[in-house]
Amino acid sequence: GQQSAIDPSPLPNREKKKRQRKKRKRQQQLSSYGSADEAEVKCAEAAGSFMTSQVFVFYFAKSVELTGVKQEEVTAVPTPISSRDLWNLLVQRHPRLSILQGQVVLAVRQQYVDIGDQVVTLGDGDEVAVVPPLSGG
Amino acid sequence: MSDERRDILKLSRDWLPVQDVVDAVSSASCGSISVFIGTTREDEVDGRKVVGLEYEAYELMAQSEFIKLCGDIRERWPTVTHICVHHRLGWVMVGEASVVMAISSPHRHDSQQAINHCISQLKANVPIWKKEVYDTQEASWKENSECPWAAVAEG
């Protein structure tokens, strides 16, 4: 506009509202976890637009021996999250789990999930399980 | 006996007689009951003898995967009437049965095919694990080759 040449007073409401709209749109974009890069993720965290959930994690067979734990509550798990990031989060808690790398899948709400790019959403109280190779029968 | 088709998975530490599993699938409309019994072999691995197996399960998911498996069986062999699987949990000594399954159908073809498929798919998909315990007190978790994420997965 031409107001800067004619009117030296503070930003008119129209300009303020335009900037506020742009800021809101940016925050909405940042809250889409899958498409954010690291800098944007930090920005989104600061803006408080990240979602996390508290889940119950169950360990079975060899993973019990590796972690020393049969089940635990894990808080502040980002959601949505890729199954690879979820696995890495568990390995960070229990480094010996990395021994299972390549021969393990997860189960989320009793559905198998391969460890990779697949994105899962987690709600409070959801069950996550570490599933080593099966040997029933 | 109701007409409703039964899909029964029982996971328990108790010994269940084979007859009970057979009785669970019996029906006046069925001329065939096929039975599979998986027993614990006295294997020798690297000079160590197996003395028994220790089983555990993700019970809630074993039930839901079993329901899916039964659906798959019934799609492939629509005349299958009842399906019953009993799987032991906990300690199973060498010589004892760890799994007993029975499937009934009017004529033998479907129940015979279905029972074979049932044990293969159970090994591939149902979240149950076994640990071999040796006479040296060592133990090792086994992996089914049917399981897609095992180190020596089939296909």
Tell me the average pLDDT across B150-154: 80
Q: Which residue has the higher pLDDT, B45 or A64?
A: A64
Q: Which residue has the tokens 């990240």?
A: A50
- Examine residue A83 and state whether it is found in any structural domain, yes or no: yes
Please indicate if any CB of chain A lies within 8 Å of the CB of B97.
no
- Examine residue A54 and state whether it is found in any structural domain, yes or no: yes
Query: Which chain B residues are Cβ-neighbours of A137 within 8 angstroms?
Result: 38, 87, 98-99, 119, 122-123, 128, 144
Which residue out of B67, B125, B141, B152 would a mutagenesis test of the A interface target, given it has the greatest number of A Cβ atoms within 10 Å?
B141
User: CA-CA distance, B119 to B16, in Å (whole number)?
Assistant: 18
Tell me the average pLDDT across A110-117: 98
Domain count, chain A: 1
* Residue B97 tokens, joined: 């049965």
* Residue A91 tokens, joined: 């390995």
- Examine residue A68 and state whether it is found in any structural domain, yes or no: yes
State residue A4's pLDDT score.
Answer: 41
User: CA-CA distance, B155 to B145, in Å (whole number)?
Assistant: 9
- Examine residue A66 and state whether it is found in any structural domain, yes or no: yes
- Examine residue A1 and state whether it is found in any structural domain, yes or no: no
**pLDDT per position as a tens digit, A76-92:** 999 999 999 999 999 99
Q: Does position A104 have pLDDT exceeding 80, yes or no? A: yes
Q: Which residue has the higher pLDDT, B29 or A28?
A: B29
State residue B1's pLDDT score.
Answer: 47
Here the ipTM equals: 0.94
For chain B, which domains are there?
6-154 (3.90.1170.40)
State residue A21's pLDDT score.
Answer: 74
Contacts for B15 with CB less than 8 Å, ≥ 6 apart: B88, B96
Nearest to B129 among A61, A105, A110 (CB): A61
Report the largest interatomic distance among the alpha carbons of chain B, rounded to a whole angstrom.
Answer: 53
Nearest CA in chain B to A108: B61
Tell me the average pLDDT across A108-128: 98
Contact residues, chain A to chain B, C-beta under 8 Å? 58, 60-62, 102-105, 107, 110, 114, 127, 129, 131-137
State residue B20's pLDDT score.
Answer: 97
- Examine residue A121 and state whether it is found in any structural domain, yes or no: yes
Nearest CA in chain B to A58: B58
**pLDDT per position as a tens digit, B82-95:** 999 999 999 999 99
pTM: 0.82
- Examine residue A5 and state whether it is found in any structural domain, yes or no: no
* Residue ranges making up the domain that contains A93: 10-131
What is the band of A33 on the pLDDT scale with cuts at 50, 70, 90?
Answer: very low
State residue B46's pLDDT score.
Answer: 87
State residue A29's pLDDT score.
Answer: 57
- Examine residue A137 and state whether it is found in any structural domain, yes or no: no
Instruction: Tell whether B131 is in a known binding site.
Output: yes
What is the band of A34 on the pLDDT scale with cuts at 50, 70, 90?
Answer: very low
- Taking all residues of chain B, what is their mean pLDDT, rounded to a whole number? 94
Judge: B55–A137 Cβ closer than 8 Å, yes or no. no
- CB B129 within 8 Å of CB A134: yes
CATH of the domain at A83: 3.10.20.30
Beta bridge partners of B5: none
**pLDDT per position as a tens digit, A1-29:** 444 445 455 666 777 677 777 677 666 65
- CB B24 within 8 Å of CB B102: yes
